[in-house]
Amino acid sequence: MPQIHQVAIVTGGSRGIGRAISAHLAAQGAAICVNYSAQPEPAEALVTELHAGGTSAIAVHADVSDPAQAHALIDRAEAELGPLTILVNNAGISAPATLETYDEAALERMRRVNVNGVINTTRATMAGMKARGYGRIVNIASNAAIGTALPGTTFYAATKAEVLILTKRFALELGRSGITVNAVCPGWIVTDMTRGSTTEGEFSARVAGMRERTMVGRVGAPEDIAAAVAFLASPEAGFTTAQVLTVDGGRKDYIGHG
Ligand code: NAP
Pocket probe for ligand 1: among 19, 24, 41, 93, the residue whose CB has the most ligand atoms within 8 Å is 93
The answer to whether residue 8 scores a pLDDT higher than 90 is yes
Q: Give DSSP secondary structure letters for 35-97.
A: EESS-HHHHHHHHHHHHHTT--EEEEE--TTSHHHHHHHHHHHHHHH-S--EEEE-------B
pLDDT of residue 69: 99
> Distance, CA 176 to ligand 1 centroid (Å)?
31
Instruction: Give me the percent of the chain exceeding a pLDDT of 90.
Output: 97
Q: Phi first, then psi: give them for residue 92, nearest 5 degrees.
A: -165, 155
Q: Is the pTM of this model over 0.85?
A: yes
pLDDT band at 131 (very low <50, low <70, confident <90, very high): very high
Which domains, ranges and CATH numbers included, belong to the chain?
7-194+222-246 (3.40.50.720)
**Residue bearing the CA closest to ligand 1, atom 41:** 189
CB of 191 closer than 6 angstroms to any ligand 1 atom? yes
Provide the pLDDT for residue 19: 99
| Res 258 pLDDT > 90 | no
Distance of CA 71 to the CA centre of its chain: 18
Strand bridging mode 86-89 / 57-61 = unpaired
Q: Are 126 and 16 in contact (CB under 8 A)?
A: no
> Which atom, in ligand 1's list, is nearest to the CA of 143?
43
For residue 151, name the pLDDT band (cuts at 50, 70, 90). very high
Ligand 1 in contact with 153 (CB < 6 A)? no
Q: What is the pLDDT of residues 47-99, one digit of tens each?
A: 999 999 999 999 999 999 999 999 999 999 999 999 999 999 999 999 999 99
Is residue 194 within 6 Å of ligand 1 at its C-beta? yes
Instruction: Measure the CA–CA gap between 201 and 163, rounded to whole angstroms.
Output: 34
Average pLDDT over residues 17-41: 98
* Model confidence at 213: pLDDT above 90: yes
Distance of CA 55 from the midpoint of ligand 1 (Å): 23
Q: Is the pLDDT of residue 175 over 70?
A: yes
Confidence of residue 4 (pLDDT cuts 50, 70, 90): confident
Q: How many angstroms separate the Cα of 62 from the Cα of each of 26, 33, 69, 71, 74?
A: 21, 11, 5, 9, 10
Say how many Å lie between the CA of residue 94 and the centre of ligand 1.
8
In the predicted structure, residue 194 carries a pLDDT above the cut 80: yes
pLDDT of residue 203: 97
Residue 184 CB less than 6 A away from ligand 1: no
pLDDT of 158 higher than 60: yes
**Structure confidence at residue 1 (pLDDT):** 61
* Residue 9 DSSP code: E
The closest residue, in CA terms, to atom 36 on ligand 1 is 142
Q: How far apart are the first and last CA of the chain?
A: 38
| pLDDT value of residue 3 | 78
Nearest alpha carbon, ligand 1 atom 10: 12
What is the mean pLDDT of the segment spanning 21-48?
A: 98
What's the mean per-residue pLDDT of the chain? 97
User: Which protein residue's CA is at the shortest distance from atom 9 of ligand 1?
Assistant: 12
CB of 14 within 6 A of ligand 1: the answer is: yes
Burial of 179 (0-12, 13-18, 19+ CB in 10 A): buried
Identify which of 41, 60, 73, 90 to mutate to test ligand 1's pocket (most ligand atoms within 8 A of the CB). Answer: 90
Residue whose CA is closest, atom 39 of ligand 1? 189
- The reported pLDDT for the residue numbered 257 is 63
Residues involved in catalysis: 156
